[in-house]
Amino acid sequence: MKRLFIYLLALTLIPVFATAQEREIREIKEEGKTVFKPHAYLQLQGGVAHTLGEAKFLDLLSPAAALNLGYNFSPAFGMRLGASGWQGKGGWVTPAQVYDFKFVQGNLDLVLDLASLFAGFNPDRVVNPYLFGGGAYAYGFENDKANALNTGTYDLEYLWKDSKGFLGGRFGLGFNFRLSDAVALTLEGNATLLDDHFNSKRADNPDWQFNALAGIKINLGKTYKRTEPVYYEPQPAPAPKPEPKPEPKPEPKPAPAPVVKEFPALPPVHFAFDSDKVDTRKYANELNTIVSVLKEFSDTDVVITGYTDHTGSNAYNDGLSLRRAEAVKKYLVGEGINAARLSTSGAGKDPKTSGQEALTIKARRVEVKDK
């Protein structure tokens, strides 16, 4: 069972390792990036407000709350629409007197993400400060306490009853502390510049409402995506070089045809007039040549033919020519030539000569030729 488990685990990991190895081998053209995604978000905030006035600072503190719906168009720029407010205050120093009223404020802000603007987009950044500025419309109501104080002793020149609207501008600074991709803690301080009538008192300058808020920011959707690395197209493996063709073996040269040495023409041996005696001294060279050739061509049979001049009768010359041939044969046998190879004939008068030449030693000869 243990072996089976190891085997199955190995089969599972093989493609993982193969894929990882393939990624390592492939050359990266462009690294994977973290890309910003436009998204909406929600802010819920609560804290404390201070309406600038003549009374002591702590006496003019009141609760505050805010609800914002925003949209980030880029890493650095966004807008948000919000509702805030709760309570505003006013008062005197001497004698000390404080009154409060209710208001709700609508806000439209342009938001600037400082970290992304100067350091680039990073969804994993923990602290992200932001600036914002925009317009506001405050709607005041329940101003009964101010109206109750408006007696002969207290004269509120800008007193309003029931309800009243005020246009204004606002700006502020905040910090988002990232908890996850979706949630961040928020700290924010802002100031709203309103009409001098806001707190019912005349000061001949605008009224200020300050807020210190804490809360949470919830991203509505993904704020970024990560792209895969871009790889160069894998180069095709070079085609294998063709194996060199073996050099053709040279055709074996045909064995040289055996040189068939032709039997050479042999020199004739001449005789004295009416003689059949071989003159071995006078014709030693011719006889030695004939013996050497016959020994060299040991398989060749020869014919020894005798001739005479044209003197005398044909019958006599036939016999003389044969005796001359036999005389040469006898000499050759004596030099070691096998007699069986030697045949003799007498041709009589030499047919190759005529006239005076037919009566000379040229006609009286013996010739040795192969058969």
337 & 217 share domain: no
215 & 308 share domain: no
Q: Tell me the residue type at 114.
A: L
**Token digits for 317?**
């010359």
**20: in domain:** no
Given 165, 195, 226, which residue is the final one in a domain? 226
221 & 111 share domain: yes
Q: What is the pLDDT tens value at each position of the chain, 371 positions in all?
A: 556 656 566 566 555 544 544 444 567 777 878 899 999 999 999 999 998 877 788 888 999 999 999 999 999 999 999 999 999 888 776 677 788 899 999 999 999 999 999 999 999 999 999 999 999 999 999 888 878 776 656 677 788 888 899 999 999 999 999 999 999 999 999 999 998 878 887 877 888 999 999 999 999 999 999 888 887 777 777 888 888 888 877 777 777 777 778 899 999 999 999 999 999 999 999 999 999 999 999 999 999 999 999 999 999 999 999 999 999 999 999 999 999 999 999 999 999 999 999 999 999 999 999 98
Continuous segment of H or E residues that includes residue 148: helix 144-149
211 & 309 share domain: no
Q: What is the CATH number for 275?
A: 3.30.1330.60
Instruction: List own/partner pairs for 252-256 with CB under 8 A and 24 or more apart.
Output: none
**183-194 and 61-72: which strand pairing?**
unpaired
* HSE-CB of 56 using CA atoms within 13 angstroms: 6
278 & 221 share domain: no
CB-based burial of residue 319 (10 Å sphere; 0-12 exposed, 13-18 middle, 19+ buried)?
middle
Domain count, the chain: 2
278 & 365 share domain: yes
**Token digits for 368?**
């040795």
**264: in domain:** no
CA distance 149 to 94: 14
Find the domain containing 301 and state its range: 269-370
112 & 49 share domain: yes
**163: in domain:** yes
54 & 159 share domain: yes
